Chain A
Amino acid sequence: MLFNSIDFAIFLPIVFVLYWFVTNRNLKLQNAFLILVSYIFYGWWDWRFLSLIAFSSVVDFLVGLKMGGLEDPVKRKRLLWLSLIVNLGFLGFFKYFNFFTESFTEAFSFFGSEINARTLNIVLPVGISFYTFQTLSYTIDVYRKNIEPTRDALAFFAFVSFFPQLVAGPIERAAHLLPQFYYLKKFSYDEVSYGLKKMLWGLFMKVAVADRLAIYVETIYGHSDLHTGISFAVATIFFAVQIYCDFAGYSLIAIGCAQMFGFDLMENFRRPYFSATFKEFWSRWHISLSTWFRDYVYIPLGGNRVSKARNYLNLFVTFTVSGLWHGANWTFVAWGALHGTFQCVEKGFLDGLRIKVPHVLKVALIFLFTCVAWVFFRAVNIGQAMYILQTIFTRPGTSLYFGDKGMFAFSILGMGILFANDYVQEYRPKFRLLHNPYPAVRFATIVFLLVYIVGLGVFDGSQFIYFQF
């Protein structure tokens, strides 16, 4: 079920009313209800894949319980491996089987050998990368003795399948989210009000900005042989904003939705395009994933407590793997590797420089380099990405393709509103509109956003980009 669908618009109020009026006196009932509606939410897309979530939940719950009763590190490690094999096995099979098969076949044929490898017609279960990482973090944290294993099966199943963040995050840690299923929720006007406002802004980001920009981006990237460098450059900037609004919008809806049910999810985006360094960018972009990779990949590799060269390698490997997490395509690997390279260069060369660069220029440069990396993220293959970059830098041309001028104008308008909002949040927080101290301002903002969404939103039922990951 998509957040921007009529199905969800019907689903949410029903669940909300039942949650607060029927299940509000009993914790077990409340958690059981959340599991039920979460499974309905996920099964709406394809009920067959519910078995994967259920199986992962059972395995990790039992592994956690068993691990909690053991002190022998060898046995604990065996249990951890069991969880890793099950979860990463599912992920590897559904997401990467065909990718690796095709890559090996191509590699062999490159060296002159022909091998006959079969690919399978595999449907990628929506959100498998997200809930796999969430449930994995539980077993790893139990293994590391960072958290106590839970004995409450209902709470654990609800933690793994909690519908607001099940399919595209934020990827929550057990230490933060799981304890929230241990106590009965009390209705709070403020929580619901904040939650609704976050959902409204998230919906604006998705349907009024991201989906609007997507039309232009698709027109240019979908016919890359027909366009000039300027058009590619504009489309790439549009894509940078599109993917931000698509994913940050989804995260905000998820966070707001969870808040309506009394849950606090972690912040996932904090105006990333105002970053003045790559390090800062990654502390603002997809925070739940970047901290996951920091804690479970970068630090176990040695983090920065190793030699400089090894530290750079650790950074590079972490970002490259994070690229692969995004999708089974070399374009994502290249995107991750580019960000790894940016980080290494920044850490190795730029941090020590004593040249004073204006903040605004730093922000612009980071945005520019981020856009270069986005070309790989958006292109269908490495060849197209290279062609687009080459065209931008060597054959910019003189004509900009506008496509439908109305759509183009509304894209600019949407980005303008987004930029104004993010600027105010970043630098002038007291002028925030949705959370303004004056009720009339808050009220007018809400009505304006509703009018804008209905009048200028895109209602083609498009999926959130990150669902495919």
Chain B
Amino acid sequence: MVTIIKKLAVIAVCFLIIDQAAGLFLDLCRDKSPDGRYYKTKHSLETSDEDVVIIGSSRGEMNYNPFVIEDSLKVTAWNASRGGQGLPYFHAIQNGILNRYVPKIVILNIEGSMLEHRRFLAEAGFLRPFYQGHPEIQPILNEISYFEKFYNRLRLFSYNSSYYYLLRPYLIKGLDGRREDKGWKPRDGRIHEIFLRDTTEIVKDTEPLNEGAVAEFEHIAKTFKEKGSRLFIVVSPNYQVYEDNTPTINYLRNFAKSNQIPLLIHSNDTTMIRNPDFFIDPDHLNRQGSTYFTKKLIGEIRPLLTASL
């Protein structure tokens, strides 16, 4: 028994040495990342100081053109959205930003059924490489599991499965979002013909709202408002999907009204949702669509800003 314990101890020590050494290397790769998702997240959490911040998932990342916002409103803009993420990621990014400064304007992209689904908590594990250096995001990641605070002491665990996207920007630049695009991921091209259709699906969800998602959304929205940011909640368009009467949208209408937060719904904008030239796939706008949509959105936001001044 003693022999086993001794050998297990030696293996554990060796493993921990390798783990910490690998951690140092991976931290360096993360901090010096030339572009891509880790550069973007680091900027969002640590160095962003833009007047306008866009927060969302992949729709947020692709559908909002920061250059249009900058030109139209004469401000600086940063798109902090991240594909495949949900409210916990938004919350973590919010904490990272508000820990340092208060953006003048925040555009929060919410999907038409987002508050009916799970919170995408596990997906926020993407932020684990930033866990140790960012106490403000730890409570959110700690919700993933009770043991998260222990797991993240292992650097290899924090970087689990991140290596491809962490190292690729050093070899090939611009594949995962270019630095000069300010967080936006424009996509060129047109929706594939297999997705083309003549009819529009009118979404009539009857799913109940997810209490956890609603609570997290309310926290995010109210915190931005309390801190003094002008918050705009936006529902962006999907190809041939008309969403205007989902539990999420109905809830957003009530919430926006009672909290005096502008809600801009574009999932019912038939000029956009029926135009395949605007889309790269059923859920995301292409460069042309994104630019058109952002211009249209700013056209709605500008008078609201002026009115409040």
Binding site for B on A (CB under 8 A): 6, 20, 187, 189, 192-193, 226, 405-407, 409-410, 443, 446-447, 450-451, 454-460
- With A6-B147, A443-B11 already in contact, the answer to whether A455 and B4 are too (CB < 8 A) is no
Q: How far is the CA of A101 from the CA of B167 in the complex (A)?
A: 54
A451 lies within 8 A of B18 (CB)? yes
A455 lies within 8 A of B3 (CB)? no
Q: Is B160 an interface residue (CB 8 A)?
A: yes
Q: How far is the CA of A50 from the CA of B155 in the complex (A)?
A: 40
Q: How far is the CA of A405 from the CA of B154 in the complex (A)?
A: 25
Looking at B147, B151, B162, the one whose CB has the most chain A CB atoms below 10 A away is B147
Specify which chain B residues have a CB less than 8 angstroms from the CB of A454 in the assembled complex. Answer: 15, 19, 154, 156-157, 160
Q: Is B309 an interface residue (CB 8 A)?
A: no
B154 lies within 8 A of A410 (CB)? no
A192 lies within 8 A of B4 (CB)? yes
Q: How far is the CB of A455 from chain B (nearest CB, A)?
A: 4
A455 lies within 8 A of B160 (CB)? yes
Q: How far is the CB of B260 from chain A (nearest CB, A)?
A: 40
- With A189-B4, A192-B4, A447-B11 already in contact, the answer to whether A407 and B161 are too (CB < 8 A) is yes
Interface of A is mostly: helix
Q: How far is the CA of A192 from the CA of B8 in the complex (A)?
A: 12
CB-defined A-B contacts under 8 Å, sample of 20: A6-B147, A189-B3, A406-B164, A407-B161, A409-B164, A447-B11, A447-B14, A447-B15, A447-B18, A450-B11, A451-B22, A451-B156, A454-B19, A454-B156, A454-B160, A455-B22, A456-B160, A459-B157, A459-B160, A460-B122
Specify which chain A residues have a CB less than 8 angstroms from the CB of B1 in the assembled complex. Answer: 20, 187, 189
A405 lies within 8 A of B3 (CB)? no
In chain B, what residue has the closest Cβ to A452?
Answer: B156
- B3-28 CB contacts (< 8 Å) to partner A: 3-4, 7, 10-11, 14-15, 18-19, 22
In chain A, what residue has the closest Cβ to B12?
Answer: A450
Specify which chain A residues have a CB less than 8 angstroms from the CB of B163 in the assembled complex. Answer: 406, 455-456
Q: How far is the CA of A406 from the CA of B111 in the complex (A)?
A: 26
Q: How far is the CB of B298 from chain A (nearest CB, A)?
A: 33
Specify which chain B residues have a CB less than 8 angstroms from the CB of A187 in the assembled complex. Answer: 1
Specify which chain B residues have a CB less than 8 angstroms from the CB of A447 in the assembled complex. Answer: 11, 14-15, 18
- With A6-B147, A187-B1, A443-B11 already in contact, the answer to whether A405 and B164 are too (CB < 8 A) is yes
Q: How far is the CB of A441 from chain B (nearest CB, A)?
A: 14
Binding site for A on B (CB under 8 A): 1, 3-4, 7, 10-11, 14-15, 18-19, 22, 122, 145, 147, 151, 154, 156-157, 159-165, 194
Specify which chain B residues have a CB less than 8 angstroms from the CB of A193 in the assembled complex. Answer: 4, 7
Specify which chain B residues have a CB less than 8 angstroms from the CB of A459 in the assembled complex. Answer: 151, 157, 160
Q: How far is the CA of A443 from the CA of B10 in the complex (A)?
A: 10
Q: How far is the CA of A187 from the CA of B5 in the complex (A)?
A: 13
Q: How far is the CA of A402 from the CA of B78 in the complex (A)?
A: 29
In chain A, what residue has the closest Cβ to B151?
Answer: A459
Specify which chain A residues have a CB less than 8 angstroms from the CB of B22 in the assembled complex. Answer: 451, 455
A406 lies within 8 A of B165 (CB)? yes
Q: How far is the CA of A455 from the CA of B19 in the complex (A)?
A: 9
Specify which chain A residues have a CB less than 8 angstroms from the CB of B7 in the assembled complex. Answer: 193
Q: How far is the CA of A227 from the CA of B11 in the complex (A)?
A: 45
Specify which chain A residues have a CB less than 8 angstroms from the CB of B157 in the assembled complex. Answer: 454-455, 459
Q: How far is the CA of A407 from the CA of B163 in the complex (A)?
A: 10
B15 lies within 8 A of A451 (CB)? yes
A410 lies within 8 A of B161 (CB)? yes
Q: How far is the CA of A407 from the CA of B84 in the complex (A)?
A: 14
Please give me the 10 A-B residue pairs with the lowest Cβ-Cβ distance, nearest first. Answer: A406-B164, A455-B156, A454-B156, A450-B15, A6-B147, A447-B14, A454-B157, A406-B165, A192-B4, A189-B3
Q: How far is the CB of B37 from chain A (nearest CB, A)?
A: 10
Specify which chain A residues have a CB less than 8 angstroms from the CB of B19 in the assembled complex. Answer: 451, 454
Specify which chain A residues have a CB less than 8 angstroms from the CB of B4 in the assembled complex. Answer: 189, 192-193
Specify which chain B residues have a CB less than 8 angstroms from the CB of A443 in the assembled complex. Answer: 10-11, 14
Q: How far is the CA of A455 from the CA of B22 in the complex (A)?
A: 10
